[in-house]
Amino acid sequence: MKQQSSLPQNNKIKNYIGSTLLFIGIFSTATVVGILILLFIPLSFTIAYKISVAWCWLVLLMAKVFCGVNYEVEGLEHINKDQPAIILSNHQSAWETLALRYILPTQVVLLKRSLVWLPIWGWALGSLKSIVIDRKSQTIALRALLDKGEKALNEGLWVLVFPEGTRTAAGEIRKFSAGGAMLAQKTGFPVIPVAHNAGNFWPRYSFLKYPGTIRVKIGPIIASKGRKAADINAEAEDWITQAMKTM
């Protein structure tokens, strides 16, 4: 259920102030953190990555303090840090790109090429073994996901994929692309489905953030060995769709 429509006038003012403080906090700290990541990445990927996780934690804290955005996670028992996996998650906002980095084990993400052109923070994201793709060519993007994703998994890193391809409106789910499932089929690494309702409180393309508790559900492991990508993808999409209906 969306929270913004029920806010009384006095809370709307508080909401604008909180969202402004969060905006300032994110962009001011991102610059500092981006510089730190770029300084440490030649020395230690582990340290640089931990810096990025600490920043994600800070943003989540600021969202709670300034905007009243909390979150709860179900299904952490399905996470085995010693077994890398491919995370397939629905995509509604920027919130999950930050929260999943903090909640889940060390991971690489798909990143639009245009984002790595952003000064400092974009450069920092690109340096953290992100799989940079050009959306103009689906064939080249898929090859990058399969090749670099396999390398990351073999290095013990998780791979985060948003199979919808872009952010959707709260409560909606777009048809899943099969790239993440194809990576699972190729490598034999398992899939972990993740569902959330972040768009209700941190809407896509919105400056305003709204008070409430985001629910994150982590599903059981989906085996991939000896299975077709279409079947893996369908199982993940079905689980996420059903989980969304309970939120």
**Mean pLDDT of successive 10-residue segments in the chain (247 residues)?**
53 93 96 96 97 98 98 97 96 96 96 87 93 85 94 97 91 90 97 97 94 97 96 97 93
- The CATH number of 4-245, from 3.40.1130, 1.20.120, 3.30.310, 3.10.350, is 3.40.1130
The pLDDT, as a whole number, for residue 203 is 94
Q: Domain spans of the chain?
A: 4-245
Q: Which residues, in sequence order, are bridge partners of residue 112? A: 133
Residue 194's SS3 state is: strand
111 contact partners, CB below 8 Å, separation of at least 6:
125, 126, 130, 131, 132, 133
Q: What angle do CA 195, 164, 228 make, to 5 degrees?
A: 90
Residue 65 structure tokens: 């303090």
- Block residue for tokens 């896509």: 204
Rounded distance between C-alpha atoms, residue 98 and residue 198, angstroms:
11
- Block residue for tokens 């491919």: 86
Asked if 162 and 174 touch (Cβ cutoff 8 Å), the reply is no
Each residue of 22-49: b (16+ CB within 10 Å) or e?
Answer: beebbeeebeebbebbbebbeeebeebb
Which DSSP string corresponds to 121-178?
HHHHHHHTT-EEE-TT-HHHHHHHHHHHHHHHHHTT-EEEE-TT-S---TT--PPPPS
The alpha carbons of the chain give a radius of gyration, in whole angstroms, of 18
The pLDDT, as a whole number, for residue 7 is 54
37 contact partners, CB below 8 Å, separation of at least 6:
48, 51, 52, 124, 127, 128
Q: Which of 17, 38, 26, 66 is nearest to 211 (CA)?
A: 66
The pLDDT, as a whole number, for residue 115 is 86
183 contact partners, CB below 8 Å, separation of at least 6:
86, 145, 146, 149, 150, 153, 159, 161, 189
Asked if 65 and 138 touch (Cβ cutoff 8 Å), the reply is no
